[in-house]
Amino acid sequence: MAEHSLVVILDFGAQYSMLIARRVREANVYCEILPYNTTAKELKRRNVKGIILSGGPNSVYDKNAPHPDPQLWNLNVPILGICYGMQLIAEALKGKVKKGKKREYGKAEIRIDPSNALFSGLPQSISCWMSHGDSVSKLPPGFIAIGHTKNTPNAAIGSSKKNIFGVQFHPEVVHTPLGSEIIVNFLYKICAIKPTWTTEHYIETACRSLKETLGKQKILCALSGGVDSTTVAALVHKAVGKQLTCMFIDQGFMRKNEAKKIKELISKNFRIKVFYIDASQRFYEKLNGVIDPEQKRKLIGTEFIRVFEEEAKKLGKIPFLAQGTLYPDVIESAVPSKVTTAHTIKTHHNVGGLPEKMGFKLVEPLRLLFKDEVRLLGKDLGIAEEIITRQPFPGPGLAIRIIGEVTPERVKILQEVDDIIVTEIKNAGYYKKLWQSFGVLLPIRTVGVMGDQRTYLNTVAVRAVTSVDAMTADWARLPYELLEKISNRIVNECPLVNRVVYDISSKPPSTIEWE
């Protein structure tokens, strides 16, 4: 994306690097998150117009504390340090950082200097979110304090001459309500970047690059009905039209009527030819008697690849495969020097293994985008609102929401339950406010009473969460009346269910899906 000014966020192991990147993108500026030790030479080669140093869990004096390339300070590119990033500035430019005895954590009022470009247009006092132990005790030569709180005299510092600024608080989080403005000031006023990163521009550049890569060759896309794969298909179709072939594999674990709906929506919307493959029988056979969640995921993943391979062969030689990989996935897997390490909590099912095994060349036209950017892009490409606003749905589908054995009968129960939950949540106006809302079928039966009859039937859990990126999530405080309606409808309309419970656990320590 050479035509857009590039801002780089150097990641020092912050929880919030991704949030910083989102704020920058929301300001219509293109940015990438790179490892903290990216060399100054590389940043220069990429013609970086602004650098943001993220926060991080360390103290600058820790033995293994991550430090940037010392040449960074001589690049003559505007720098904004956030929290740990600001302490790095102080330390590197001959100020002092004091080890804190106590962590300052939570909301604080900061008095700022609105005559400074970084705070231009803001009131003299704003709310901000603090989370630090250390603080800057002596300013580096040439720097002034441009903000202070009750506990932190140097809560924001800057040198307009050097174009280097630091804030002790986190402007990227929602608890700093005017934080976005601070980031915007840094980008527009200090880095002098123009907001050119728009979906219109993106479509143009992506189509050009797809045409160049593909020439006259064919490309295959596996659709799932979600916003990512549909947007990929629409984008590729816009770029190369009939060279695109789409495939939709129904493994039998979709929601009620979903496979049919997706088929209709896509062919109507784009007149793209979609090969629909009903492979449910095969998947059910594979899962026969399997109750271990990881085994389920692996079996489904492998079978998916098998079906895909067989079907793709029937279509003749197609050299390229389009995939809906998003920027968060790219960062997760591609920042080798990331200071924090992530464990595999669950094996995620996607078509990642396909290109290598089958000799496909991979095309990932969304790999620079966040989910909200994909939604905007999809909208601009004319994708139906119903798909754009669809909540994420896991690759293995309802199979990982049926605890215990997956049988067609149990899938049918959950489909009905899920349909009621989604319908009621939509009717109450909550669907778009939630990251996900769904039902889980538990492997237990409990005693109930209906009319004068004793019942001994299934229990289902309702799961509804809010989240920005699925890395963390909170259970949704849905109104009791809505929960009551959902519960009443389920026990009245699903003859095999007599109990409904509401999941009130957050992630972490729980996960969003139950398996």
- Annotated binding-site positions for ATP: 224-230
Q: Which helix (H) or strand (E) holds 287?
A: helix 280-287
Nearer of residues 140 and 396 to ligand XMP, judged by Cβ: 396
Q: What are phi and psi of 121, to 5 degrees?
A: 85, 0
* Pairing mode of beta strands 6-11, 30-35: parallel
Q: Which residues contact 399 (CB under 8 A, 6 or more apart)?
A: 251, 253, 283, 287, 296, 300, 406, 411
Residues in the chain: 515
* Pairing mode of beta strands 125-132, 104-112: antiparallel
CB 213 within 8 A of CB 365: no
Give me the 418-447 binding string for ligand XMP, x by CB under 6 A, dash otherwise: ------------------x-----------
CB of 397 to ligand XMP, least distance (A): 9
Nearer of residues 282 and 507 to ligand XMP, judged by Cβ: 507
Does 513 sit near ligand XMP (CB under 6 A)? yes
Give strand pairing partners of 97: 136
Nearer of residues 392 and 443 to ligand XMP, judged by Cβ: 392
Q: Which two tokens stand for residue 172?
A: 């990227």
Amino acid, single-letter form, for residue 413 = I
Q: Which candidate in 4, 91, 104, 170 is catalytic?
A: 170
Give me the 471-510 binding string for ligand XMP, x by CB under 6 A, dash otherwise: ------------------------------------x---
Does 26 sit near ligand XMP (CB under 6 A)? no
Q: What is the three-class DSSP state of 108?
A: strand
Give catalytic status of residue 309 as yes or no. Answer: no
Q: Which residues contact 342 (CB under 8 A, 6 or more apart)?
A: 332
CA–CA gap between residue 466 and residue 470 (Å, rounded)? 9
Does 392 sit near ligand XMP (CB under 6 A)? yes
- Contacting ligand XMP (CB under 6 A), which of 442, 470, 483, 496? 470
Pick the stretch among 59-67, 146-154, 346-354, 497-505 that binds ligand XMP (CB under 6 A): 346-354
Give me the 283-312 binding string for ligand XMP, x by CB under 6 A, dash otherwise: ------------------------------
Give catalytic status of residue 67 as yes or no. Answer: no
Does 371 sit near ligand XMP (CB under 6 A)? no
CA–CA gap between residue 1 and residue 8 (Å, rounded)? 13
Nearer of residues 365 and 395 to ligand XMP, judged by Cβ: 395
- Contacting ligand XMP (CB under 6 A), which of 25, 237, 349, 489? 349
Q: What is the three-class DSSP state of 500?
A: strand
Give catalytic status of residue 494 as yes or no. Answer: no
Q: What is the three-class DSSP state of 363?
A: strand
**How many angstroms from the chain centroid is the CA of residue 366?**
12
Q: Which candidate in 32, 91, 104, 172 is catalytic?
A: 172
CB of 156 to ligand XMP, least distance (A): 35
CB of 346 to ligand XMP, least distance (A): 5
Enzyme catalytic residues: 83, 170, 172
Q: Which residues bind ligand XMP (CB under 6 A)?
A: 345-346, 348-350, 392, 394-396, 436, 470, 507, 511-513
